[in-house]
Amino acid sequence: AVVSTQSTGYQKIVDAEWSILYNKLDLMVASGAKIILSKLPIGDVATQYFADRDIFCAGRVTQEDLNRTVKACGGTILTTVNDIREADMGQCSLFEEVQIGNDRYNLFTGCPKAKTCTLILRGGADQFIDETERSLHDAIMIVRRALKNDSIVAGGGAIEMELSKELRNYAKTIHGKEQLLITAYAKALEIIPRQLCDNAGFDAITILNKLRQKHAQGAKWMGMDISSEDIADNFEACVWEPSIVKRNALTAACDACCTILSIDETVKNPNSNYKAPSAMPGMR
């Protein structure tokens, strides 16, 4: 640190600091940048300096947002303003600041390297937002899985009803107790469309009877249609699910059931039922 007792020396230090600041600002303006983002705070002088030259700046931007912006718009996160090249700057066709609700958002549109998008979820309560986020995440993961695996089946309970029909028909060809097991497995598969009906507020008995009839006639992709409150060909309606998801679900359910059935005995601690006396014998 430099300490000066003379006013002229102190003024030289202040002038040097302002000169360094304005030199850095001039270098950023000369680079041709129209949007400047910084992880550190940006002072009032720099903000007004950029505003006078029609340049947007934002400070205290998180590292995650900076990395996402670089991936979408291109460019490089710089640690110095010296030797700024055109390859170090990102591009976008439109930048705007929009107020949504009580918050303001900076939107980058038309990013050349963007492979993702940002979804803004709004709701009246946190539990609604959390439920919407979970539902959206499930839908995105299903689409991601479907893109990775080219084998799909119809959703809406269609595949479960078809498997149930095939198992019931197969159970009739088997004698012995195995027939009861296969029939119970077929009945358990109908829980999926039944639960879908209950969630949508439909009459599960009516819907399941219609599905059994259609699947018995060979319409293997018939499932629940929430829009018409009836049944429809979900494969034609583009209600699809990756077959690997169904396969994993059935495998996990079978493994859990086998684990429960393999428990032949439970060990109980006799001391857990022991109750200590409330008082000495003979005393009240």
Comparing C-alpha atoms, which of 118, 103, 143 is closest to residue 64?
118
**What is the structure's pLDDT at 189?**
94
**What is the structure's pLDDT at 4?**
52
Name the helix (H) or strand (E) containing 160: helix 158-171
One-letter identity of residue 195: Q
Q: Could you report the average pLDDT of every consecutive run of 10 residues in the chain (284 residues)?
A: 62 88 92 92 92 92 92 90 88 90 87 84 88 91 82 91 94 90 93 92 92 93 90 91 90 91 74 59 54
**What is the structure's pLDDT at 14?**
86
Name the helix (H) or strand (E) containing 90: none
Total residue count of the chain as it appears in this document: 284
Sign of the alpha-carbon torsion through 242, 246, 249, 255: negative
Comparing C-alpha atoms, which of 105, 79, 98, 78 is closest to residue 90?
78
Inter-residue contact 89 to 32 (CB < 8 Å): yes
**What is the structure's pLDDT at 137?**
92
| CA–CA separation, 277 and 138 (whole Å) | 54
For the entire predicted model, the pTM comes to: 0.56
Bridge-based pairing state of the strands 222-225 and 94-100: unpaired
Name the helix (H) or strand (E) containing 97: strand 94-100
| CA–CA separation, 225 and 213 (whole Å) | 16
**What is the structure's pLDDT at 179?**
92
| CA–CA separation, 108 and 139 (whole Å) | 25
**Residue reference for tokens 């039922």:** 273
| CA–CA separation, 70 and 78 (whole Å) | 11
Inter-residue contact 61 to 83 (CB < 8 Å): no
User: Which pair of structure tokens corresponds to residue 244?
Assistant: 């690997």
